[in-house]
Amino acid sequence: MSAMKRLAVYCGSATPDDPRYMQLASEVGAGLASRGIGVVYGGGRLGLMGAVAKGALDAGGEVIGVIPEALANSEVANHDCTELHTVSGMHERKQRFTDLSDGFVTIPGGVGTMDELWEAMSWAQLGYHSDPVGLLNAFGFYDDLIAFNRKMIDVGFVRPAHQNILIHAETLPDLIDKMAAYEPHTPIFRMKAEDL
């Protein structure tokens, strides 16, 4: 595995009542910056998104925002980013995340965050990228999702070659270590029909 110079961070744009989530987001941004890892994220200034960016910027890190035009024009764009890319829509946004990053880290979030996580996993499975896909299971937030992923594996909807695509840990240092050790699997695009 090559060095992870930048990671896409997927997270919510909401601010939960529980302050632990905003604190976590800030710590993730600062933690990546302290390791010399740039942050690629959704380009917003609100919620966990904004906290990740601020945490990284305050720690001297690189922050690249990728935001759709519709959101960039609604005063939620974070113009403090090292770079802010405005794209036409969500599909281009996710492609840009993949192009700019060496891996993906998902922290707590909602529907949009899940969309980004599952697409990163799906693209890895197919072979559109070979980067590690990490899930930070802070506060047990993703316990049920991890169990559901295990259910898909146990039932047979996830092939044996792809069972380790989702990398998860409860702390950022553990997650980064696991992601750095990730060995890319054989993607569907390179499998023979009998293996599918």
In this predicted structure, the answer to whether residue 43 has a pLDDT above a threshold of 80 is: yes
Does the predicted model carry a pTM greater than 0.75?
A: yes
Q: How far apart are CA 35 and CA 176, in angstroms?
A: 10
Nearest of 4, 50, 58, 5 to residue 30 by alpha carbon? 58
Average pLDDT over residues 38-55: 97
**pLDDT confidence bin for 196, thresholds 50/70/90:** low
Q: Where are the domains of the chain?
A: 6-195
Q: How far apart are CA 22 and CA 78, in angstroms?
A: 16
Average pLDDT over residues 160-189: 95
**pLDDT confidence bin for 72, thresholds 50/70/90:** confident
pLDDT tens for 75-85 read: 789 999 999 99
In this predicted structure, the answer to whether residue 141 has a pLDDT above a threshold of 50 is: yes
Any idea which residue has 């792809």 for tokens?
A: 162
In this predicted structure, the answer to whether residue 124 has a pLDDT above a threshold of 80 is: yes
For the domain made up of 6-195, the CATH class stated in words is alpha beta
pLDDT given for residue 189 in this prediction: 85
- CB-based contact 6:38 (threshold 8 Å): yes
Higher pLDDT, 193 or 99: 99
Q: How far apart are CA 59 and CA 33, in angstroms?
A: 6
In this predicted structure, the answer to whether residue 143 has a pLDDT above a threshold of 80 is: yes
Average pLDDT over residues 89-104: 96
In this predicted structure, the answer to whether residue 2 has a pLDDT above a threshold of 60 is: no
pLDDT given for residue 1 in this prediction: 46
